[in-house]
Structure 1
Amino acid sequence: MLFRRENKLPQTTPPSPKGHALCLGLAIVAAVGCRQRDDRTSRLPDRDIAEASSPTETSNLGLQPELTESTVVIPLDKLGLADARVGESSDLSTWTTEQWSSAIGQQLTVIGEYLRSGTDAAREKLEPIADGSFSGRLRPRTLQNAFQDGVIGVRRQTRAQSAEEPLNELPGHVAFAKTLDELRAPLQAAHHVENHFKVIRITQDSPTRFGSRILFEQHGDLDGNSVQQRAFWDCTWAIGTDRTLQIASVSLSDYEETTARVPPAGDTQPAHLFTDCTQHVLGKNSSFAEQLSQSTDHWLDRLEFRYGIDPGAWLGMALGDVNGDGLDDVYVCQPGGLPNRLYVQQADGTAVDRSQDAGLDWLDHSHSSLFVDLDNDGDQDLVIAVKAGLIFLENDGRGNFQVAAVRSVPQSNPYALSAADFDADGLLDVYVACYSQRRSETDRQFIQRPIPYHDANNGGRNQLLRNEGNFQFRDVTNVTGLDGNNRRFSFAASWEDYDNDGDIDLYVANDYGRNNLYRNDGGSFTDVAATAGVEDISAGMSVTWGDYNNDGWMDLYVSNMFSSAGNRIAYQRQFREEHQNQKTLADYQRHAKGNSLFVNMGDGTFQDVSEPAGVTIGRWAWSSLFADINNDGWEDILVANGFITQQDTDDL
């Protein structure tokens, strides 16, 4: 997601490792089963509509079981819910909003089909969907230019356009089809169109009507350019006399249309900001075809679990110039039992696998790695976070590495690495973000239980390792003040002098709760996240600093998890109504909100500008980065998201 500002591998057993693979399992198990009829309409239960719930309650009106049957099996003990009553019933009949969401999803499938194809057959299926009095418009008549350079153009609706004259002069289904035609007009000649919908809010207006907020996204490729559309639809749905579900009105907000055009001297291929060049860069290496191009499922079937293969890998990579030729090289971390890979960049833009020659084909499950000059000799050394602890490798300047030190992390599993000279002694120090405690400390649970789920304080213990020289490191976490609030489920950490006082400060993004901002005062740290306004209680997974408004103060972007289901459920009265105070409820609601952008106010505090900036919905955002991708002097935001690598209809 992109936010713009205005050696042969074995088939059954691995090669002998350089070091013993020390394993600790970490996985997430979820089972979701569903069955849906292929009806073109959604019907309500065969009972008297008068028995439906009142406008202030949403617990009695649902969908007919034979239309949609859903079973959600949630292993609450493994997910770590402190109170199993949160989800003691897996029957969606107790959650009317989820039944409505399922029914809306069926209607959106029909709408999406028409937007993609525009065929008469798809158009016929629209008639039962629209209420006879339908009104609304899905694409503004005029759009305002928001951004334009040589390649990218962005146009948006103005606030006044949200109240445009509706299409009331036509019958409901005709008006509905017409507004869909207007929406698909920019993609009329597209070679390929994809669209996606997310139901992110449900509200009840009356016993026979309810509302929904839907995120709509569509894109397609045309000769010489590509088009992307994005908007929120605030819809009203009518429950018909025959129990069918029909769209009665739609109000459009935040409509945005982006076009990428090929420069005049370019070819006629569709324009994109980025082009996938993986095959060109790595394709000549046997390790690419035999290892990296294979799915996790492929290796789960071929490697023994004792080697450390893990379906939920959470693996990173490192960039650095290992041989001093001025070209960046890449080190790719791999699951246990598969060798890590070092690809060295060549002058022609390709990369050559030098993992074995460089001494970096480790088989231990490696969560992350970091190229960094630890001995001040001018070359990039390497730190690898494996399940047992840390491996420090010294670079000879030509891209050959030898083990210089090994350090265990006995209490926790090291996940992410970051380096900075926190005490200004001229040597780079290493901060180790640790997600969870080791299995022996958690009663041999397969996955550690965060307690409480929304504000857990029983995770791993992060470490600050002071560089003493000659690859000797000392744990100074406690004496520097970094052991305060240090039992979170930490995914990532990043250093930056946010207060412009000359020393480097530290932000830690934590899963299941609040984050840390450790202010550095001459080598001593204080957690000021709460007073600075950046605790950001959520599912923190990454953090990046950048001066996005060019005011001289570094701003903060934190990647979390946007959940459409969470946004629907957490705002319903039924959601733990008897057990939650308003503060806890607000924490749960924020947990589903998505990513956060904090602008630095210059006085030690930050202001949350996520929603007005339009940067919250980054899906499950595992990583993010401020970067000026078009060289216009303004920081843009890149977000890496998803969860399941193979094709899946419910992919996040």
Structure 2
Amino acid sequence: MPQMLSPSKNNSKPPSSRRDTRYVHLSILLLTSMVAVQDQAPAPWFTDIGEAAGFSFSHVSGARGEYWFPEIMGGGVGLLDYDGDGLLDIYCVQSGYLPDAEGNQPDSPPNQLFRNLGIDQETGLPHFEDVTELVGVGDTKYGMGVACGDYDRDGDMDLFVTNVGVNVLYRNEGPDKQGVVRFKDITKNSGTEDVRWATSAAFLDVDGDRDLDLYVVNNLLWHASTETACFNYFSERDYCSPNNYNAASPDALFIKGRTRFQDWTPTSGLDAAFGNGLGVAPADYDQDGKVDIYVANDATPNNLWHNKGRGKYIDKGLLLGCAVNGNGTPEAGMGVQWVDVDQDGDLDLFMTHLRRETNTFYMNRRGRFTDKTNATGMNATSLKYTGFGMGFHDYDLDGHLDLYVVNGAVQAWRQEEIFAEDPYAEPNHLFRGMGGIRFETIANGGETEHTAGTSRGAAFGDLDNDGDVDVVYVDRDGRAKLLLNNATGHWIGFRMLDKRGDEVPGAMIGVTHGGKTIWRLADPAYSYLASNDPRAHFGLGASDEIEAISVRWPSSKIEEFAPLASGAYHVLREGHGLDHK
């Protein structure tokens, strides 16, 4: 600590000169301190490497000044290992141009698939190449989101793309004679054809037969002829609220049969309640061995579809306290995730919302939910922004969950602190976990510099297999970003397989180290318009010693596995552990 300056006992200078000299000394000390602080400034959590890594996707909304509602909501992104080489590839969903009232649609740019080539020896960064045309996944309809999963259980990942209009199911055909993995559009014969405006989707096993079924979230019954003129706070023409349309559309559930999917929606009871759906997250929240489904609706109550068995559902959102906020008000739900924030072994809920609503955290207490947003420390920060894609992960590997949220307005608010040509642009947020359910905001979203955009879909996964979670997100009418995580520390990760050796979504993994157990859900279906790394990832903090590993499989069976080495991804297979006693 700098010593205080005192006047000299033998002064020959007038008081004013002594004061000037003191100010000079103080200035030097302050400048030195500032330089020292800058030298010791923490390294950024993330670095945008998209352009350097060959990841070059630019989103096109097709906005033409008529403010058609779907233009402000896309696009999505998915992470999947489509070629089975152990590296996550990136699939970006393009919007393009909406058909007019007569059904005429201008030519649109395609969706794009970027193959992960691994670490480039010159740059030291993961590198990607566009293989869209080569593998055949360049749909050009007005795209929204994507779900990734091995629905036909042949060992490779398939793609389901949601659109404003007919959705698309791409089946992974595996490598051809030249060794090139190719996809086939099987939509017509799949049983999944639907002409409504779909947003998010998820592969899940509804009936416990170990085949993957498909849940599709629908927003509203939109057509160019249904549009009307709406105006924002500044009396300028802008995008309408979904409530202006009064045309919410039921979601769809497709059950996998022997050769095709069957529309199970009327039989399941899912058409008994519905809203303007945007986000979806499946999970067995009550640990009864049956997968439940949470749907985030825009300006209408959310749905918690409780699985009664045999493909039957009942909405328990209002009954269990997670359909509206703590004040009893429906909010504009976008992104959603099941996650054990308070580390008590059950799954809590988090949702992103509209400006002036805050994002919302619902704490799970024995199957009932309480709005605990104010206790997280994130409410004030999120109040000014509109959140979309989001993901809880331990980004800095300190043993505590952190949260990354991408933001972007749906009406032009002209926020003074944002200097961007895009009137909908907002900065993204990184919240560092402090332990328990408390978080603090990290400047610039964890980057050295952060450029605000109108961010929508966001996907999370370890793209370079170095043990930390990276972020990919799409900016409306902008360049998609790839944020490489710069963390170093102890970690462990798991790939979950069922008895047949197929990747299984919905397993809960508990890792005990340092005398406490951390729980993670292994499921790619969360965030907004996104599909994520299916592996479970754990930061371990200061200790790298694993004491125990527990798995609660989707069947509700619990197994114990021997401790495994940290610093690696491991495969856990159902039936290969010890039964929990």
- Report the TM range for the smaller structure's normalisation: 0.5 to 0.7
Q: 2:284 aligns to what?
A: 497
* Conservation of the 8 A alpha-carbon contact between 2:187 and 2:193: no
CA distance in 2: counterparts of 1:463 and 1:188, whole angstroms:
61
Aligned to 1:323: 83
Q: 1:344 to 1:224 in 2, by over 3 A?
A: farther
Secondary structure of 2:174's counterpart equals: coil
1:19 corresponds in structure 2 to: none
Q: Deviations over 1:242-290 (max 9, x none)?
A: xxxxxxxxxxxxxxxxxxx2xxxxxxxxx1111111122126xxxx3xx
Q: Name the aligned partner's letter for residue 622 of structure 1.
A: F
Offset, 1:475: 1.3
SS at match of 2:404: strand
> CA distance change for structure 1 residues 468 and 320 in 2, over 3 Å: closer, same or farther?
same
Answering whether residue 59 of structure 2 is matched by residue 277 of structure 1, we say no
Question: Which residue identity lines up with residue 400 of structure 1 in the other structure?
Answer: R
Answering whether residue 54 of structure 2 is matched by residue 314 of structure 1, we say: no
Give the distance between the partners of 2:283 and 2:32, measured in 1 at CA: 44
CA contact (8 A) 2:148 2:203 kept: no
Deviation at 1:556, TM superposition (A): 0.4
After superposition, where does 1:419-434 map in structure 2 within 5 Å?
419-434=203-218
Q: 1:368, CA displacement in angstroms?
A: 1.0
Q: 1:561 to 1:187 in 2, by over 3 A?
A: farther
Amino acid at match of 2:320: A
**Counterpart pick for 2:392 among 626, 637, 640:** 626
SS of 2:161's partner is strand
Q: CA deviation at 1:506?
A: 0.7
- State the TM-score, normalized to the length of structure 2: 0.55
Alpha-carbon displacement from aligned partner over 1:516-571 (angstroms, at most 9, x marks no partner)? 111112132111111111112111111101111111100100111132xxxxxxxx
> Residue 464 of structure 1: CA displacement?
0.7
| Equivalent-residue separation in structure 2 for 1:614 and 1:187 (angstroms) | 34
Match of 1:552 in 2: 345
Contact 2:242 2:298 in 1 (8 A): no
Q: Verify: 1:509 aligned to 2:296, yes or no.
A: yes
Task: Give how far 1:345 is off.
Answer: 0.3
1:191-590, aligned counterparts within 5 Å? Answer: 222-225=38-41, 261=42, 271-282=43-54, 288=56, 292-293=57-58, 296=60, 311-336=71-96, 337-348=108-119, 349-398=126-175, 399-406=181-188, 407-410=192-195, 412-439=196-223, 443=226, 445=228, 458-470=247-259, 472-486=260-274, 488-522=275-309, 523-536=311-324, 537-563=330-356
Query: Any stretches of 5+ residues in structure 2 without a counterpart?
Result: 1-29, 97-107, 120-125, 176-180, 231-238, 325-329, 413-417, 427-581
Is contact 1:380–1:397 with CA below 8 Å preserved after alignment? no
**SS at 1:517 equivalent:** strand
Distance 1:438 1:328 in 2: 34
1:222–1:469 Cα change, 3 Å: farther
Structure 2 counterpart of 1:429, one-letter code:
D
- Distance verdict in 2 for CA 1:316–1:650, change over 3 Å: closer
TM-score norm. by structure 1 comes to: 0.49
Q: Does the 8 Å CA contact 1:324/1:397 hold for their aligned counterparts?
A: no
Check the 8 A contact 2:153/2:211 in 1, yes or no: yes
Following the alignment from structure 1 to structure 2, what is the Cα–Cα distance between the partners of residues 187 and 508?
54
Q: Secondary structure at the match of 1:544?
A: strand
- Post-superposition Cα deviations, 1:341-363, rounded to whole Å, max 9, x if no partner, equal 10000121101110000101222
1:554-613 deviation line (CA, Å, top 9, x unaligned):
0100111132xxxxxxxxxxxxxxxxxxxxxxxxxxxx3x111111101x2011110111
Inter-partner Cα distance in structure 1 for 2:223 and 2:71: 17
Residues 1:224 and 1:420: Cα distance change in structure 2 (over 3 Å): same
Residue 396 of structure 1: how far off its partner (Å): 2.0
1:630 deviates by 2.3
Question: What pairs up with 1:15-26 in 2 under 5 angstroms?
Answer: none
Paired AA for residue 409 in structure 1: D
How many residues are aligned here? 346
Could you report, residue by residue, the CA deviation over 1:335-386 in whole angstroms, capped at 9, with x for unpaired residues? 2201111000012110111000010122211111122101000100111112
CA contact (8 A) 1:492 1:541 kept: yes
Query: In 2, distance between residues paired with 1:320 and 1:527?
Result: 31
Q: Please list the CA deviations of residues 194-223 of structure 1 after superposition, one character each: whole Å capped at 9, or x if unmatched.
A: xxxxxxxxxxxxxxxxxxxxxxxxxxx933
| Equivalent in the alignment of 1:635 | 401
SS at structure 2 position matched to 1:396:
strand
Q: Which amino acid aligns with 2:77?
A: M
Taking a change above 3 Å as real, the CA distance of residues 498 and 281 of structure 1, as seen in their structure-2 partners, is: same
**Amino acid across the alignment from 2:81:** D
Displacement of 1:511 in angstroms is 0.6
SS in 1 for 2:319: helix
Q: Identity across aligned pairs (percent)?
A: 26
CA RMSD of aligned residues (A): 3.1
SS in 2 for 1:346: strand
Q: Alpha-carbon deviations, 1:100-154, whole Å to 9, x = none?
A: xxxxxxxxxxxxxxxxxxxxxxxxxxxxxxxxxxxxxxxxxxxxxxxxxxxxxxx
* Superimposed CA distance per residue, residues 139-170 of structure 1 (whole angstroms, 9 cap, x where no aligned partner): xxxxxxxxxxxxxxxxxxxxxxxxxxxxxxxx
2:250–2:270 CA contact under 8 A, matched in 1: no
Q: Distance in 1 between matches of 2:351 and 2:69?
A: 29
Letter in 2 for 1:402: K
Report the CA distance between 1:482 and its aligned residue: 1.1
Structure 1 residues 386-406: Cα deviation after superposition (integer angstroms, max 9, x where no partner):
222221111123431011223
What letter is aligned with 1:280?
A
Contact 1:548 1:636 in 2 (8 A): no
**Aligned residue runs from structure 1 range 131-146, under 5 A:** none
By relative contact order (CA 8 Å, sep 6+), the higher-ranking structure is: 2
Distance 2:240 2:362 in 1: 30
Specify the SS of the correspondent of 2:53: helix
Aligned pairs for 1:72-221 within 5 A: 189=34
**Higher helix proportion (structure 1 or 2):** 1
Higher gyration radius (CA)? 1
| Cα distance in 2, alignment partners of residues 186 and 436 from structure 1 | 58
CA distance in 2, matches of 1:444, 1:331: 30
Partner amino acid, structure 2, of 1:633: G
Runs (5+) with no aligned partner, structure 1: 1-184, 192-220, 226-260, 262-270, 564-591
- The answer to whether the 8 A contact 2:339-2:348 is kept is yes
